[in-house]
Homo-oligomer: A and B are copies of this chain.
Amino acid sequence: MDVARTRLSLVIPEELARLLQEEIISGRLAPTTRLTEEEVAQTYGVSRSPVREALRLLERDGLVLKAPRRGIWVAPMTLKDFDEVYACRIPLEALAAAEAAAATDVALKDELPAILAAMRAAHGDGDVQRFFDADVRGSTVIYRLCGNITLRRLLAGLEKQALRYRYFIYARAPGAVRLSVEGTATIYAAILAGDAPRAKAETEALIGAIWRDIRPAMAAEIPAE
């Protein structure tokens, strides 16, 4: 398919992983769906070689599960997995926020207000997709600010799993977005003020609050494990 080839032109495995990742996070590729290399390859008009690499990348990010000689499936969404992701996010995102607050890259910090505005606007319009795009951009800015490449690597692997659950809930209960928007505003303020301990504490508080807030709805919609 020529359209796919064009979009994949730079580095096929990474681009392919990004496309598949969007499918999985948005739920268009349902949990436990079987992915065969040949089918993915034909869908995107490439051979199995880059597909295999893309699937390894998705495995690294926890979006697919792989069993040797048996195949690959979209990772199931379970309450256990949800809890695990949030338990790990709290300390890691807090660490990232603290380092971001201590950073000196003013130009990068100045992007945060615009991102917050975009989140608010999307929230006002009830546009979940746009809210997510802004949210992801905000995370990216914080990761770049903190400059800890190792932490960035770890968070990249968590963020995608987390977004999957957040997308799932927000698409069903858009009201839950408000909690995220307001908490994000508080965190950005702390980062802009250069207050690392407060950025850390506010991040721990927000992620913990979101966790508690959406967990009951999650428990009603997905299996325990």
Please choose the segment from A129-137, A152-160, A169-177, A212-220 that sits at the chain B interface, where 4 or more of its residues have CB less than 8 A away. Answer: A152-160
Shortest CB-to-CB span from A76 to chain B, Å, is 12
Contacts of A149 in B (CB 8 A): 81, 84
Contact bitstring A3-15, B, C-beta under 8 A = 1, else 0:
0000000010000
A88 touching B56 in the complex, CB below 8 Å, given contacts A11-B68, A68-B11 = no
CB closest residue in chain B, given A98: B87
A53-B56, A56-B53, A60-B60 given as contacts; is B95 within 8 A of A154 (CB)?
no
**A52: CB under 8 A from chain B?**
yes
Residues 50 to 90 of chain A near chain B (Cβ within 8 Å): 52-53, 56-57, 60, 62, 68, 81, 84-85, 87-88
* Complex: A95 Cα to B52 Cα, angstroms: 33
Kindly state whether residue A148 has any CB partner on chain B within 8 Å.
yes
Q: CB within 8 A of A87: which of B11, B52, B148? A: B148
